Structure 1
């Protein structure tokens, strides 16, 4: 079949005017744009957000804007390929660096987009989600799934910063994005990370069955890191030392649109990731890692973040020959699988 299709300009102006009057559009002039051959059209650009450059601006925001005027004091990590005003890191992922200062409280609300918090630095802050108080420590992953009340507080002495990852672009595109304000939550007894504390043993369901859709909201980094180190020691020939954050009752992804993972790179290791359909976000928890995609290489240091477009291979290199490196990864795999478009090339 010919690759040359008719252009809109080939049609008589009066015919185009008749179409426009009836809100009609001819497909063939735009067919190759919406269905390109073999590889999708992608606006997502490989982008790096160095934390050392970002942090002073975030702290300055703390001086310029009180929490009462901000509600959520966030600098959005926007991908220039999508236009900064659209606040997207990728087609389905929003990223933001959020700051909470000692004594502050970010009021309770709930919203339709799913969110997670990856704690970047600081101690003494917490997120209360659906009545469960989740302490924040570096590397912890805390879920705030769709529809659940959540608020943030800080009883410590130093600023606390975390990385927000939301499926906001998708929910906004669906015209389903909104929030509801609420009263301060009453903290309930118990926490999911205590109930689901060790691999291989779980609460017996005949005596205990959670009535929560998300039985585990906080994934402590101390446990996740220990799991990665144990995997590497147990299987020294394993190339990809990675774990997936899951719902411990079902084994499904921790949330239903975006996927979240922790990866350990052994000292001096170079790991090649195949080209896959979803976009990916890499956030460095510990170490020094080069992220190479297309013609770009991003030298990540601790707390740096970058994103890569889908359908492109990515290479990760641990720059240290003595120490392992640990990377948090977010991607759109669950969404792609649900839509039936997930693929690896």
Structure 2
């Protein structure tokens, strides 16, 4: 019988250690663009929970708004193409072009009479309207009015522009899957030209008929992967209140989906409307998704691991993968939020997880 001499905690004992190698050997690896995996394995594949660089953060709209208006004075929209102040993840340092590892977020401004020129890009985008009336987005010829809390989709590859024919500033939160495309070296945009943002009437009519329970003849039916581009906030809000009343619960949530097939409305980004009753506590289930929360109405406080954020309408805050997240609305009124995450992408790739609360 052979005696077992290797201790059972060998892996723990060597965790974080790197092998002692001659510098000549390491230099030879570098010269050939090679690297020893064992030096980096623990950092690349940490046990238990990903060790990303994202740092949960809250961006107050009250802080962003005056800077955005000053940008409106200093930077013509034609020059900027998109006048946006990016919500940069502090964990990635200054000028980070993302709020989490997979989610880009920024707040965009249009002033009365302005038009943001037509373009399209490989990443998909969604606009969550924060302030103002009279703004609109045109996607392949379909005009989508923009009212507070509305979600407007501009799917990847779709021509779109923005305009404002009302009074006062119009602002909205842009959320894109840009970091995913950047990591895949697939992020690019194209400038528009006359007629490029043209409506596709057959595709639009098909989608409208299907939502009315009518199926067009197959001979001229045109499949539309994005049959619904504008998700009005008032519709979502009323549905949340009905759901809460029907279930007898003070909190409710509803996913935004493609109305024709019930699937996520975009390939990478998922959207959920949330209602938190007055002075109610909501403990979320930890998931592998990275998340951005936007406050549409009300006020309250959220805890993301060791970070505590108080918030009010217009604020945005982020959460990392598998974070412990809880929300509480202030007494006297409910709070309404929209959650944006990368769960659709993770589910397609087969690694989305939910973990039981301790």
Shift of 1:54: 0.8
Aligned length: 339
Asked whether 1:251 is paired with 2:265, we answer no
Shift of 1:46: 1.2
Shift of 1:195: 3.3
- 1:225 aligned counterpart, secondary structure: helix
Shift of 1:338: 1.6
Q: Equivalent residue for 1:127?
A: 137
Cα distance in structure 2, aligned partners of 1:295 and 1:28 = 31
Q: Equivalent residue for 1:66?
A: 76
1:207–1:225 distance in 2 versus 1, CA, 3 Å: farther
| Cα shift readout 1:246-288 (whole Å, capped 9, x = no counterpart) | 1111211010111111001112211100211111111110111
Cα distance in structure 2, aligned partners of 1:196 and 1:241 = 30
TM-score by length of 2: 0.90
The structure having more radius of gyration, on CA atoms, is 2
User: Does the CA-based 8 Å contact 2:209-2:216 persist in structure 1?
Assistant: no
| Cα shift readout 1:137-195 (whole Å, capped 9, x = no counterpart) | 00100000000000001111111000000000110110000001112534566969x93
Structure 1: which 4+ aligned runs deviate by more than 6 Å?
188-192
Asked whether 1:319 is paired with 2:327, we answer no
Cα distance in structure 2, aligned partners of 1:156 and 1:46 = 36
Cα distance in structure 1, aligned partners of 2:299 and 2:16 = 51
Shift of 1:320: 2.5
Asked whether 1:218 is paired with 2:230, we answer yes
Q: Equivalent residue for 2:179?
A: 169
Asked whether 1:138 is paired with 2:148, we answer yes
1:77–1:6 distance in 2 versus 1, CA, 3 Å: closer
Q: Equivalent residue for 1:231?
A: 243
Q: Equivalent residue for 1:51?
A: 61
User: Does the CA-based 8 Å contact 2:295-2:313 persist in structure 1?
Assistant: yes
Q: Equivalent residue for 1:329?
A: 339
Cα distance in structure 1, aligned partners of 2:344 and 2:215 = 27
Cα distance in structure 2, aligned partners of 1:307 and 1:99 = 21
Q: Equivalent residue for 2:40?
A: 30
Asked whether 1:242 is paired with 2:253, we answer yes
* Alignment gaps of 5+ in structure 2: 1-9
- 1:10 aligned counterpart, secondary structure: coil
Q: Equivalent residue for 1:269?
A: 280
TM-score by length of 1: 0.93
Shift of 1:210: 5.0
Asked whether 1:2 is paired with 2:15, we answer no
* Alignment gaps of 5+ in structure 1: none
Q: Equivalent residue for 2:302?
A: 291
Q: Point out the more displaced range, 216-225 or 204-213.
A: 204-213
Asked whether 1:93 is paired with 2:106, we answer no
Map 1:78-89 → 2, pairs under 5 A:
78-89=88-99
Match of 2:318 among 307, 332, 338: 307
Q: Point out the more displaced range, 161-170 or 276-285.
A: 276-285
Shift of 1:52: 0.6
Cα distance in structure 2, aligned partners of 1:119 and 1:109 = 20
